[in-house]
Amino acid sequence: MTQHGQMVDIMQEHDGRITENRTDIAETQAMVQASDAMLNAWAAQFIEEPPQEDGPEFEVNDLGEEDFDEDPNEDPEEDDDDGDAASDISHRISMAGRGPHARPPRRTLDAAVIKMMVDRRVNKVLAEYEANRLASETSGSNNGSQGNNNKGCSFKSFLNCHTQKFKGTEGAVGMLRWVEKVESVFAMCECADENRVKYATGTLEGPALTWWNTHVQTRGLDGANSMPWADFTRLLQEEYCPRDEVRKLEAEFWVLKMVGSEIEQYCTRFHELCKLCPAMVTPEYKKIEQFISGLPEQIQSMVTASDLTTIQPLIRLAHKLTDQAVAQGKLPKRGEHLKPQESQKRKWEPSHHQSHQPQQQQRSAPARAFTATQPDDKGKGVYQGK
């Protein structure tokens, strides 16, 4: 074979190898692409989706260095696309998070998402701080209130509430009003129960103080001051509202009537007598009957027809009906019944003269009064007496 023929055979053999290599490369590329697609599909189930723009679902402190690119200015398009296929496949597998020690996928966050997460975290921290602060203040206030209830107020604070003095000469109503005033001061200054009698007796004067000192001598100072408040008020009522006085008050209560349209005065006296004569208004229906019996007939029937079973709604209804009766002219205006009426003034009339005739006073003196009669009485004066 000639040299030329040998060269031709070598070139044909080389071309055949090249063709075979190209076929192998094409097949290899197809296999790589198929493997790439399979790996992507398999790795997608391990890769978390990036947060949405309208609200991230993870906090700033949950992020690590691996959540950010090592070089933010790195251009991803500058990556070497000519690397080895096996290295690329290995890189994709590691990115997919396969294996217990696999590195999680990296996420690139823009400035808007980072700011949103920071604001969200700051707002959460501020809300927690405010909630803790309010809880601490509430707890401190409750503890302080409990401490005040346990400790109570001082006697100086009690006197600063302008507590009235009680001498024992004010009568039953005066005693009742003093007790009510002292009890209101107890509520305002949060006085402890064990200090009530001690503080209240510090305002006694005159006969009342003497009366209390006799109980102190009998019971001892500590025993007297530690007496329950209910027992102390019972002793007061026994001393300054004895049974004979109670009978007088009960008699007044039976005939208590509302005068004109003075509903306020009637209710005030009604409540005072209820305190001093509790047997007359217990149970509740007796109090209601007693209140209705003292109302004027202009409103009494309407109050009775209301069929109310508690006293406070009944009193409010009586006030309302009284105002309506005054507006309709059925009852006089408040205060008018106290003014003297000219038509009701007592006039002197001669015992021997039946008709109303004008009279002329001729002379008046502190001890005498002379009145001249009309000319038809023959001009004789009549002595009217001292």
Q: Are residues 213 and 174 in the same domain?
A: yes
| pLDDT tens digits for range 114-157 | 778 877 887 888 888 878 877 776 665 555 444 444 457 888 88
| pLDDT tens digits for range 52-70 | 555 444 444 555 544 444 4
pTM: 0.42
Q: To the nearest whole number, what is the mean pLDDT of the chain?
A: 72
Last residue of a domain, one of 187, 206, 241: 241
Q: Are residues 221 and 277 in the same domain?
A: no
Task: Classify residue 261 as exposed, middle or buried by CB count within 10 Å of its CB (0-12, 13-18, 19+).
Answer: buried
Give CA torsion, residues 241, 243, 248, 254, to 10 deg. 110
Q: Are residues 262 and 308 in the same domain?
A: yes
Q: How many domains are there within the chain?
A: 2
Instruction: Compute the average pLDDT of residues 79-103.
Output: 52
Distance CA 249, CA 86 (A): 114
pLDDT category at 372 given cuts 50, 70, 90 is very low
Task: Classify residue 236 as exposed, middle or buried by CB count within 10 Å of its CB (0-12, 13-18, 19+).
Answer: buried
Last residue of a domain, one of 241, 274, 291: 241
Question: What range does the domain containing 266 cover?
Answer: 244-332
Does any domain span residue 269? yes
Does any domain span residue 294? yes
